[in-house]
Amino acid sequence: MSNEFYIVDPEIVSGAPVFAGTRVPVKALFDYIADGDTVDAFLSDFPGVTREQIQQCLDQASSSFGDTDEAAA
């Protein structure tokens, strides 16, 4: 399974979703955010990941929760 910003390959990090072209697990981004770190800190620590990949990841995560405008109505 793959997407523009991540890949899943059983031979890379035991099949955990990683940012395409890296061995950086997508979960690491959410761990950083949960710990109060910034996207810039993540990018600094993982220079192989691009800001565009992070934006795509966050957009996909956001869309998986549906339209928040309808929930607020």
Predicted confidence (pLDDT) per residue in 18-55, tens digit: 999 999 999 999 999 999 999 999 999 999 999 999 99
pLDDT at 66: 77
CATH number, position 56 = 1.10.10.10
The stretches of the chain forming alpha helices (DSSP H) are 26-34, 39-45, 51-63, 68-72
Domain that holds residue 55: 6-67
Predicted confidence (pLDDT) per residue in 13-22, tens digit: 999 999 999 9
Note if the pTM is more than 0.85: no
Residue 57 belongs to a domain: yes
Residue 25 belongs to a domain: yes
Phi, psi dihedrals of residue 17, rounded to the nearest 5°: -60, 130
Residue 27 belongs to a domain: yes
What's the structural domain count of the chain? Answer: 1
Residue 16 belongs to a domain: yes
- Residues 51 and 48: their CA atoms lie apart, in Å, by 10
Phi, psi dihedrals of residue 18, rounded to the nearest 5°: -125, 155
Residue 37 belongs to a domain: yes
